[in-house]
């Protein structure tokens, strides 16, 4: 009877939810393929040597995965990582958006990517890039950044436009 009670208690107890390795993903309007950024863990903590990795999920094809090529790492989807001040996780700078750092740190026992979205802290989940023009390197028309409020779970969104070149004073004022 004791064994039956232990077995029943074990079956009734919910399993602890495993932490997903995926932090966030970047998709674009050109096709369904996405770059997925994942946390790298060592013994329950972020890997101090390489806490984040990125790879293509080729969803427009058969779903296979591919690494980023040299140019993608250098310009578009690559990143740099530094230890965060105070030793609380890491600061990740995406090559395509250097002015908006991503803070990679543990929240409880799970890794999360924190970023500012619409002026408030959020857990980054996805970025969608709308492109314009064609060619080898299309221009960015805008990007939607989406995350979740870390306290309430509410969706937080922001649309970002690329910076415009400042017009010259002659263009603003006109010729004399």
Three-state DSSP string of 136-160: CCCEEEEEEEEEECCCCCCEEEEEE
- Kindly tell me if the per-residue pLDDT of 122 is higher than 60: yes
pTM of the model: 0.82
Nearest alpha carbon to residue 30 among 96, 125, 129: 129
Residue 169 covered by a domain? no
**pLDDT tens, residue by residue, 61-108:** 999 999 999 999 998 899 999 998 878 899 999 998 999 999 999 999
For residue 39, tell me if it sits in a domain. Answer: yes
Q: Is residue 50 part of a domain?
A: yes
Q: Which secondary structure element, helix H or strand E, spans residue 66, and what is its range?
A: strand 65-67
Q: Is residue 14 part of a domain?
A: no
pLDDT band at 166 (very low <50, low <70, confident <90, very high): low
Q: How many domains does the chain fold into?
A: 1
Task: Select from 118, 105, 120 the least CA-distant residue to 151.
Answer: 120
Residue 4 within a domain: no
Whether 32 is covered by a domain: the verdict is: yes
Q: Above 50 in pLDDT, residue 10?
A: no
Question: Is 93 domain-assigned?
Answer: yes
Domain housing 150: 19-162
Band of the pLDDT at 24, cuts 50, 70, 90? very high
Average pLDDT over residues 37-60: 96
First-to-last alpha carbon distance for the chain, in angstroms, is 98
Q: Which secondary structure element, helix H or strand E, spans residue 70, and what is its range?
A: helix 70-71
Burial level of 145, CB count in 10 A (0-12/13-18/19+)? Answer: buried
Residue 13 lies in a domain: no
């Amino acid at each position: 009877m004791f064994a039956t009670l232990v077995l029943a208690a074990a079956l009734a107890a919910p399993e602890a939810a495993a932490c997903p390795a995926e932090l966030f993903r970047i998709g674009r309007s050109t096709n369904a393929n996405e770059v997925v950024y994942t946390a790298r863990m060592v013994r329950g903590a972020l890997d101090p040597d390489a806490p984040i990795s990125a790879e293509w999920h080729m969803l427009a094809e058969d779903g296979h995965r591919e690494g980023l090529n040299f140019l993608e790492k250098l310009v578009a989807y690559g990143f740099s990582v530094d230890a965060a001040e105070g030793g609380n996780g890491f600061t990740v700078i995406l090559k395509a958006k250097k002015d908006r750092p991503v803070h990679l740190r543990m929240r409880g026992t799970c890794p999360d990517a924190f970023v500012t979205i619409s002026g408030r802290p959020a857990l980054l989940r996805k970025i969608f890039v709308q492109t314009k023009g064609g060619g080898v390197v299309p221009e960015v028309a805008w990007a939607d950044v989406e995350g979740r409020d870390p306290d309430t779970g509410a969706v937080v969104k922001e649309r970002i436009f690329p910076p415009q070149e400042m017009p010259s004073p002659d263009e603003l004022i006109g010729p004399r």
